[in-house]
Each structure stands twice: as structure tokens, then as C-alpha cells.
Amino acid sequence: MKYKRILLKLSGESLMGDKQYGIDNERVKQYAEDIKAVHSKGMEIAIVIGGGNIFRGLSAEKSGMDRAQADYMGMLATVINSMALQDALEKVGLKTRLLTAIKMEQICEPFIRRRAVRHLEKGRIVIFGAGTGNPYFTTDSAAALRAIEIKADVVLKGTRVDGIYTADPEKDPLAKKYDEITFKEVYEKDLNVMDMTAFTLCEENDLPIIVFDMNKTGNFMKITNGEEIGTLVK
Ligand code: UDP
């Protein structure tokens, strides 16, 4: 096994599938199957999901809302997504725990680092909900923070593109994909991997990031086997 413990970051938007808003159950099911396959190899898996398919604090601020208030709403959106994924994971027979940075005792456990690690050791999939619990942050930052706290070997950022490119591949047909890149090069070339807070946190704690396309079934397995199908930042 290439990694013992991983943190998988999924954006809220990735859960939409081809829809414009909300959650596509087929997509969530596909993720659950992919996660099950990797888990069956004995890998410990923690997950952070975004909320952008439901609510984004920054966009709401632009429409006149108080930013902190809007960010808390965004954090609640991540809990909705986390619960959808938790349900799908349990439907395929996995044991899961949802731990949130904002207490919601009727539906999940509060985030306690030692407890999260214990769940992982026992083979449960751990989902971290409600981001960092603080406004003005993102779920990328939550992914970096939690990964460091639980001593994950790597952050796997599952997106709809298959890696980091010299330019936006959806706009520029000449854009080239990097197989590997350093943290320094990402700064120098002003590439967009994660927001700066998250990115710096990974760099300072020697936590590698791999960006890959999670929407192709089997890719998650390939990445965890060490196949070079995404972009490794280290
Ligand atoms: N958010 C926050 N603090 C956090 C994580 C998330 O305030 O620690 C809020 C923020 O408003 C953000 C929203 O939750 O816009 C949804 O998260 P994010 O945008 O990171 O989701 P993604 O882009 O991954 O879908």
C-alpha cells in the first residue's frame, strides 16, 4: 500500500453531477463504491466535503449578506453533503462516523481529534463536517488542517479535472498538465491548487497534495496505488 492513512477532499460541486444545484444520488453512490474499494485494501480514509453545491459564504456576501452569517450557513451546507455521503457509504456496507466542528449532537459527534484517530484505527470511514468551524475559512483549509491533525500521509483532492495545468484546461486547449510540481513552483507560477491558507498549511507541514479526477470510476483506487494519473504537489 502506498499510503496508510489518507484524507480525501471532495468539493460540494462535485456532488452535483450534471445538475445545477444540490446532490446527484448517482454520483454519491459512485463515490461510495470507489471509497469502499480503496477501504477494502486496509487503507484508513478520512473525508472532508465542501458545500458549494448548496451555499457559499463569499457569494452570499456579494449579494449583501453579512459574511460571517453566510459562512456559518456554508458550514451547515457541508453537513448536509456529509450526511448524504455517510448514507451512501453505509448503504454499501461501510462503517462511518460523522464528526463536525459545530456541535449537532442529534445527528453527529463533535470533532475530537483523538476520537477521530480511534475511529480510523477501528476501520471506520471518518467524515469531517462543518469545515473548520470558523467563518472566513474554506473546506480546503479544513482538509489541510484535519489531515495534519490526524497525521494523514497525503491530501487527495478529488476534482473534475485530472490535475494541475499550466492554464485552465477548460479554456485553453494548449494547457499542459503537470505530473509533479513543487509548492514553490505553484507560488511562482501563480497556479490555483487550493486557497492560500490551505496550501501554506500543507507546505509548512510537509503534507503532499494530489489533485486528480474523482469522477472517473477507479481513479481513486489508481491514485492510492501510487499510479501517476493526477498531479502531485510536494
Ligand atoms: N466555510 C467556512 N469555514 C470553513 C469551511 C467552510 O466558513 O472552515 C463556509 C464558506 O462560506 C464556504 C462554504 O462553507 O463558502 C462552503 O465551503 P467551500 O466553499 O469550501 O466548499 P467547496 O468549494 O469545496 O464546495
Q: Quote the mean pLDDT of the chain.
A: 96
Domain tally for the chain? 1
Interval between CA 199 and ligand 1 midpoint (Å): 15
pLDDT value, residue 2: 87
Average pLDDT over residues 176-199: 95
Ligand 1 neighbourhood includes 158 CB (under 6 angstroms) = no
- pLDDT tens, position by position, 77-134: 999 999 999 999 999 999 999 999 999 999 999 999 999 999 999 999 999 999 999 9
- In the predicted structure, residue 1 carries a pLDDT above the cut 80: no
Sequence-distant contacts of 22-27: CB under 8 A, at least 24 apart: 22/53, 22/54, 23/53, 23/80, 23/81, 23/84, 25/84, 25/88, 27/215
| Closest atom of ligand 1 to CA, residue 49 | 24
pLDDT value, residue 170: 83
Query: Which percentage of the chain shows pLDDT scores above 70?
Result: 100
Whole-angstrom distance, CA of residue 77 vs CA of residue 68: 14
pLDDT value, residue 169: 84
Give yes or no for a contact between 178 and 232, defined as CB atoms under 8 angstroms apart.
Answer: no
For ligand 1, mutation pick of 71, 102, 197 (most atoms within 8 Å of CB): 71
- pLDDT tens, position by position, 134-165: 999 999 999 999 999 999 999 999 998 899 99
List alpha helices for 92-174, DSSP H: 113-121, 139-149
Ligand 1 neighbourhood includes 230 CB (under 6 angstroms) = no
Ligand 1 neighbourhood includes 71 CB (under 6 angstroms) = yes
Give yes or no for a contact between 226 and 2, defined as CB atoms under 8 angstroms apart.
Answer: yes
Interval between CA 75 and ligand 1 midpoint (Å): 6
- The CATH number assigned to the domain holding 179 equals 3.40.1160.10
| Closest atom of ligand 1 to CA, residue 13 | 25
Q: Give the predicted TM-score (pTM) of the model.
A: 0.96
Whole-angstrom distance, CA of residue 147 vs CA of residue 8: 9
Average pLDDT over residues 42-68: 96
> Which domain does 45 fall in, by range?
5-233
Is residue 231 classed as helix, strand or coil in its secondary structure? strand
Ligand 1 neighbourhood includes 138 CB (under 6 angstroms) = yes
pLDDT value, residue 168: 86
